[in-house]
Structure 1
């Protein structure tokens, strides 16, 4: 599949194989860069999965592996909302919640490659069980699937919303994307759900601001589709919970590279590492 996708891309873009110097790979979960594998990823169930070696063997090219949120964060620092800044934290909100940290223009990966796992910081010590096995993680409340679960429970309890019409009464079809659509239709229940999610994200971001004091926190992923109205609440909650001096020097903004941040970042990390070796 990787080989076919590569050939399709080259054909579509008018490229030739001889001009391809290598590949950058972004994967969710904890990455062991020394052993070149995905150590664990709760949403895919992988354990010590050697994805870098497999893709390198198929393509017969040099490859670089990193966490997908690190890739998205690097892209926003390199080509997006964080251009020209030294200290940036990226938060990716999708199937899960990931994070990446750039300090002094360098990705911070930590002692074991697990730095930046914002989604698995605890916001409620008696909270919901997360896919990672812990309880009360931010991801268990504010990831795409968790947003959908929150909306379904309210509808099952009798809340009224245009969402019911959008899925023809089949509540299992409700997704975060449909909730954003209902929000744009000025649905009061969708507004209530997203207000709660925004406050939770604001709490998580306040923890980041107080711990790392970044220039900017960039939020990437489908949640950006909820619009500026979501960010107003995120900023308000983060301000309420952050040190004043840290909050006043930090912007909280949506990413500028929708759908492509992970791809651009994986390429950028590959380029940066190749140049370091020269």
Structure 2
């Protein structure tokens, strides 16, 4: 047995997703022991691990300080993937502004206090009648709303405690989202595969809780190259990443970059699990 790799999950769903099971099996075929363990469960599950790979640590944003401390501890005791610099970078969505400063095309974005007056000022200044509002630290479509000026006070009152604590992202609404959000997966900077997530009629959110359809897709090469260029703007090259966005006139508009715990949709392209395993072991063995 080569060693042990722990895939970090969460107590609310401690097992591996079908996608991550393919990855685990690919690592096991290469002689590694693979264990799934919740990040917020017993700490001894991570003792002696050769590497910890953040996978389905869902809900971390509801215990942000605890999760931040745990990832910092993992980074000092074992090999953490993605590395801690990327975890820090991805924990707060002000990274969107950093991407824009690096020349990456993103929606117009502001981060403000979770207050109706602050959000109204953004809408008025931008000339928007509506905007997407989401917690500045969050994931999984949690507390994401399309707010309208006419109903702003009521909608802001219904936002989560996490949004009030972290502030909110107020983001330009992209009408192309009705045709689906493109999710492109990269391993060690190289494009692997993609899916399109189409929200149901009348919905703009494509997270699983809202019932989107999902289909494998092969984006044009120039679009996948734009996604790779986006990753080149990160603090370091991620082992795994998902670039979500829409395409307008052949240009990718990056809505989010996920290098913390994104679903990687390997079940739509099973050979991708082999690519992920190979990329993982190249990273791990290069510095052992």
Higher share of residues assigned strand: 2
TM-score (norm 2): 0.27
How does the TM-score come out when normalised to structure 1?
A: 0.28
Decide which structure has greater helix share: 1
